[in-house]
Structure formats: C-alpha cells, structure tokens
Structure 1
C-alpha cells in the first residue's frame, strides 16, 4: 500500500465521494486534498498516491472490490448500495487490529485503557461474524436508531481547532428551524446519546447543550468570528446535575433519597448521580445524598425506582415528584 499515512482517512473520504456523486480524476484529487487539509493542515497527496488508492478500491483479492469501472471518464460507484464499511478488514488492517490488542495487554491494569480495549473487542466480534459466520458472543446495549453519530468527529475537531459554528436546529415540536452562533466547548455522552455543550452567543447562554441527533440539521464554520473560550468548570458543572439540561441561573440543592426493599444497593452499583455520598449513621444505611440542580432528568431517574424510593429533601423536589405521580395516576384511573 503506497503512502500509508492517513490512508484510512483517505479511504473513508473516497468512499463518501463515490457514493454521493461522479467525479473526474482532477476534481476527485482536489476534493480529497481539501478534506485532508481539514485534518492535516498543509498536507496533500500526489496524483500517484490517488492512483494507488484507486487500485486498492478496485482490487477484488487484496482490496475492497469496489464497483468502479476501470476506463470510465467519471469515478462513481455503479452500485449505490456499496460502501467499503460493509467489506471485511483488509489483511494489513487485521494485522493492525491484532497488534493494537496485543499492545493493550501491556496496559491491562491501567483503567484509562479499559474503554479502548472494550471497543476493540466489540469491533473484532462483529468482524468474526461477518467473515466466518461465527457465533455471536457479545450482546451490548446500543441505539440502532441513533442518527447523529456522524456529527461527533466534526464537532470534536471544531472544539480542538476552536472554530465558531452556525447551528441549524429544529426541535421535535418546532414548526421552523432556528439558526444561531455557537462556540463548542465540551462533548458529553448521556443515555446512549452524545451532546455538545458550549456558548450559544445568539441567546447569551454559556452552558447550552445540543443533542447530536436528527434535531441538529446541520452546522457551518464561521471563519470570520473569533472563538470565545469557556470559563465554566465543566467537572463541577456535570458533577452537580443529572442529564444534560441545565436551566439558566438554576440553584444547587441538597437531595436526600430513602430507598426501600434493598434498592439502595442497586443505586450504589449504578448511581444516576456521580457525586452521591453515604450517611455515617447506622440507621441511615438505606439513604444517600448529593448536591445537584433540579431538572426533569433528575425527576425521571427518581421515578424509575417506582415505589422503592422516597425523596426526603428538599421539599421543592418532593412536591415536583408527587405532582408527577399524581399526573401518572390520572392516566390509569378507570
């Protein structure tokens, strides 16, 4: 494989190009180099490298076997359903995966590598099934309908490069979409969905969250705007909230929960609030407390325990939970 540097990036860019429209060779080279420039400033590839890449795409034995006619004047897949993402790993790609797994074994006692090791195992399981019709071993929780994951990498790069964005967003209940200036600062995953946090300069809210799903219609880079850094302590921000919605000027409250039927043990193994603490008193072993804002997501998490939890403090939260329970009872009154 010629020019292995950023080869996988090139392959993904080319795959997207061939699926979207027809390109002449020069147009394709320009489009590819423009995309590479985004990820690797001041870098580009040569005509020779692109020709070698096209060989890899067409090669049925050691490449992707892509439906790209050899002598056509334009370059486009002859089958609209084809994508290299559907193809098994190339031999050298499998070698890289195996090498990565072996390397991670050296760090298996370091918790910061756990997530990466988990991702590699999931990936390998999918590949084994595709290639060898192997028995499925892993069944993991994921969102099949999640359509916003394609925004994750571009937004990550926008944060790294400190780019100002113009957001085009339409909520589920909105009749029209809204456009605003946004300075992205943080990406956070919650409930199997990604969110980007930052300054909504148009509305003047500095801890604004945007879900990466179909509500985010599109975004563009505003090159003539200066990027504004965040002065938010995000660790504290996330430690004092459940979920992703933080109303403006909201107050932090001390929440005390009393569990029944041993459900405090379940909470302790999977807490919905990261900063919970226990009471020292023996007669309060079934209680926990934490400091947080009160929002809809907190109430939803409390209600998920049904009759096995009781809000002791604060009174405002007790009232809101009770109100929700009364509203639910109305739905089931016969």
Structure 2
C-alpha cells in the first residue's frame, strides 16, 4: 500500500465519501472533498486531478489495496460513487496478505530490543498487533547478534530521547585507557551499534571531530540545562564513508590500501566486502588483490589481523610495516 501522507489522506477522505449514505458524490465532488482534506492537513492549497482519483479508486478496489466494493451509479450523463455494501468501512477491514507479511517482519525486527528497559513495551505491543490483525503466532526466524548483557543497555532509551529533543548532556565517562573518570558536556547526534556494542556520537567543545563514547563506559549523564545545543553540519553517511568500525583518529588521513587475498578466503570477501570502497585490481589463479580507500584505524588493523595468513597488505609501506610489528608483538606472547 502506498505510504506517503497525501495518499493516506486521499484514501481516508474517499472512504468517508463512499460510506456517506446521505449524499451523492460525483467526480467533481470527490475532487473538491479530497483537495479540502489535504489542505486542512497540510495548510497549503492543492488540487487533485481526475486521473489521480481514478488511480486511487482502482487501488482501493484492488487485492493489494483495501478490496473496497466501490461502484458507480449512473445519473444522467454523470456517475456518483458509493460502497455497494452499506456496512463496509475501510477502517474495519483486515490487512491484506502482503501487508500482513510486512507487519510480521516488522514485529520480528522489533524483537531485537526485547530485554532493554525503555523498550519493555514491545512484547505487549507485538501481542496486540498479532491479535488486532489476526496474525498467526510467529516462530522466531531472525536472530540478531545482540549482546543483551552489555552494561548500560538501559541507557539507550534515555539517550535516544535526548538526541531527539536536541539537548546537551553533562557526561561522566571513563574509557578503558584512563584511570580516572572524565567529566564534560557533549551534544549527542546519534547512536551506532558495532561488534555487539553501542556507541554514542556527538560534539564536544574544543574538538574538531565528533567524539564517540561506548555506552558500557558511561558512568552517569544528566541534561546540561542552560547549554545551547550545537547542531551538526556533517552527516553519519559522510563521517563513516572512509571508516571500518567506529573510531576516527584525527591524526590519520584516508589512504589507498592494497590487500592480497588468497583464493580460499576470496569468496567470503567478495560476498562480504571489507569496506564499500573495495574494488578488485588484480585477479589471479591463487589470489585476488583488492584496493580499499580507508582510514587505517584500530578496527581496520583488527580485521586484517583477524584473517591471519589468508591476507597480505601490499601497500602502502608504513601500513605493511605496522602490520608486521603487530604480528611480531603477538609472537612474543608465545
């Protein structure tokens, strides 16, 4: 079913017209009624064409629409439109099979947040939706790689609200490499999950880059009353376009990295690229060489090292040397 707001307004307005037993609605009447309904909702005047209304009527009649029993009654050279069944109402109809399947999938995805305090309404909501739309009981068929025991998961709801309300936050935080807690104000922009952990991204005064904070390292936070919210001029899409993971060291630039991958690993890397910039620059019988355009951050090195002997960084030389040093340090542990 079409989901844009104007379409929904048009369908509801037409539904009121077709179910009105005390008035005859000819095409001109329908056009005027629907246009007025949209203007009342949006505040701006608009006009609906006959062609659009005919398309709406066809959709409402269809199996993928509302299966509405709309009929045309001739009166002279014109025709007025009504529901053939006087008891029909669009709002009383069950959803069609396509919509039911989409709703079941949505309920399954909502289940990802089960167990998080601020989302404890989801099981009850899912049950109501299943009963209201007569959906059969769902077996769990989608399993997310989600760590429900991660510390501070209950912060997700409160932080989401602060981001939505555009409120600065007074944060107490202690990272893994700090002995003491740090107190500062951050302007939160969004939350991102990576490797089973959640991260809050925002702007701190005096920093050029966004700061990312692991939720499990947050000690406490409160609203920073009186602190004007700093809007961002960047977007998450742009910020992450040259990253693997979530960390973005300010001293590092994006670089072209060539990686040779042996033939046994290549099908995996081909189907699940290391980064969206991945492209093949050489294909041989025993290996494939790819090029990445990335910032060589912590997550980049962790991923490359995680593939062991199946990959080899070819260029640039300083990244190749860094990989070598990390491997030698690992060997010293054994």
- What's the TM-score, normalizing by structure 2? 0.58
Deviation sequence 1:142-196 (CA, Å, 0-9, x none): 3243122212222122111111011100123433211001011122111111111
- The structural deviation recorded for 1:323 is 0.5
Identify which of 140, 147, 152 aligns with 1:148.
152
Find the aligned partners of 2:184 and 2:173 in 1 and give their Cα distance: 8
Q: CA RMSD in A?
A: 3.3
1:209 counterpart residue number: 212
The 5 Å alignment of 1:84-123 reads: 103=99, 105-106=101-102, 116=106, 118-120=108-110
Contact 1:257/1:287 (CA < 8 Å) preserved in 2? yes
Are 1:198 and 2:202 an aligned pair? yes
Contact 1:187 1:197 in 2 (8 A): yes
* Structure 1 ranges of 4+ moved more than 6 A: 98-102, 121-125, 134-138
Instruction: Name 1:26's counterpart in structure 2.
Output: none
Cα 1:193–1:307 shift into 2, 3 Å: same
Per-residue deviation, 1:139? 5.8
1:236-255 alignment runs, 5 A limit: 236-255=238-257
Cross-structure match for 2:162: 158
Q: SS in structure 1 opposite 2:150?
A: coil
Partners of 2:108 and 2:140 within 8 A in 1: no
Q: Report Cα offsets for 1:266-318 as digits up to 9, x if no partner.
A: 12223332332223x54497122221111111100000100000001211210
User: In the comparison of the two structures, how many residue pairs are matched?
Assistant: 221
Secondary structure of the 1:149 match is: coil
CA distance in 1 between counterparts of 2:187 and 2:97 reads 37
**Taking structure 1 as reference, are residues 121 and 269 closer, same or farther at Cα in structure 2, changes over 3 Å only?**
farther
Contact 1:101 1:120 in 2 (8 A): no
Task: Give the greater-gyration-radius structure (CA).
Answer: 2
Kept in 2, the 8 Å contact 1:257–1:313? The answer is: yes
What TM-score results when the alignment is normalised by the length of structure 1? 0.58
